[in-house]
Structure 1
Amino acid sequence: LSAAVASTVQNNKLRIAAVSVGDGSAVVMKYKYKTYVVGCGGNYFSGSAVCDIINTLGSSNVDYIILPEDSEKSLSGVRRVTETYRTASAITANDRIKDRFSFASNVSLNGNSAETVDGKLKITVRDNCVDVIFGESRSEIYFGDVKDGSDAGLLICRGLTGYEKSDIILVSTDKTDIGELPSQKVILTSQNGTVLFTLSHNGKMTYRRMA
C-alpha cells in the first residue's frame, strides 16, 4: 500500500489506547482525524503518559475530553493534557469539574447522559461509564468498577478476534492479581503496559502492547 492509502485505511478504523496509569482511568481514542480522551487520572505520571500516547497516535490537539467521574483517579492528569494540547470540547460529570478546569466548551452531565456521533462512531456518556459503539463493535469504559474495590479502570472491548466473537477485559491497575473476571481474555496494564485496540466497523478487533 502507498503511504496515502495506508493512512486512509488506518483513519477508517477506531483506535483505543488504554493508557498504563496504575489504578485509575485514562483512555485515548483516535478516529479519522479526531482525538478523544476518556478519563485522565491515575498515578503521578498519568498526565505525561496520556500526552505521550496522544503524540504517538499522531494528534496535535484533543477534540473531546470526557470526564464522567469526579475523582482524582480520573482527573489527576487533566491539567497537564490541557496545557499541552488545545482541547476543543469537554463532557464532564458535573459543573464543579467544568469550573475547576475552565473548559471553553463544556457539557455537564449532572446526572443525565450526553452523546456525540461521528459517522459510524457513537459515544454515549453517563455517570462513571462511557459506551463506544463503532459499527458492529462495542466498547465500554468503566471507572472504579473492579470488584476488588480498587480505583482501577475497566475497559471491555467486544468484537471479532479471528472468526470468533470475543470479550476482552482490560483492567488499568498497579496490581498483578485481581481475581476472576467473566471473560475469555483479561489483560492487566500492570503486566502489559499501555495496550492499543484497533477496531473495524465490521466488528473485527485486534490488540497489541504499545512500546
Structure 2
Amino acid sequence: MQITDTNQKSFTLPTRLSSKARARSLTTTIIAVIVLILAYSFNITNPESQPGVKSAQDFSIDENKFYEVTKVVDGDTIKVSELGTLRMIGIDTPEIVDPRKPVECFGREASDKAKDLLLGKKVRLEVDNSQERIDRYDRLLVYVYTKDGLFFNQEMIRQGYAHEYTYSVPYKYQIDFRNAQRDAQENNRGLWGAKCNN
C-alpha cells in the first residue's frame, strides 16, 4: 500500500510481517493452544472438577456395614458398591493390569483367588489411621474381611498370593503380615514355590 505525505514523499507500508514477527506470533499461538489443551485435559481427568463425579476422598467407610464386591481388578484391588475402587493395605500382588509391564508370575493366580474369595460377595472394610486414607490413584486404602470373618489381606499373604508391602510407615497388622509371609516362604506356597523361582 502506497501513502503520500504532505511533502509529496511517498512510501510503502509493509503488508507482511517480518520473519521474526511471524515466528513470535506462531510461538504465541502454539503456547496458547498447549495451555488450552492442558486445561481441558486436567478438567477431564480430575474427578473433582466434574460435576457429579466423586473422588475417593468424598466417601466415608462404615466399618460395621457390609459392601458388595462388584469387580476384582487384580489380587490387591477391588471395586465395591457405593465406594468405588479400593486398594488393600499391606499387600502387593503380582501385576496383571499395568499396560507398561508384562503379566508377572503368579499374577493370574492371585487375581483368580481374589475373585474366588470376594467377587459378588459381601465384605466388611477397616481403615487404618496410621495410613493415608487414599493412594495416589484415588483408591481408598482398606483391610477387607469376608462375611465369614476371613481376613482377606492376611490370607492372600499366608497362601503365597501376595507379598507383604509397607507404603511409607508401618501399618496396624505389619508384624502379622510379615509372619504370614515368612510362613508362606518356608512352605514354598504360591509366589515362593518352584513356578516363580526357577
TM-score w.r.t. structure 1 length?
0.23
| The structure with more strand, counted as a fraction of residues | 1
| The structure with more helix, counted as a fraction of residues | 2
TM-score w.r.t. structure 2 length?
0.24
* Structure ID, larger Rg: 2
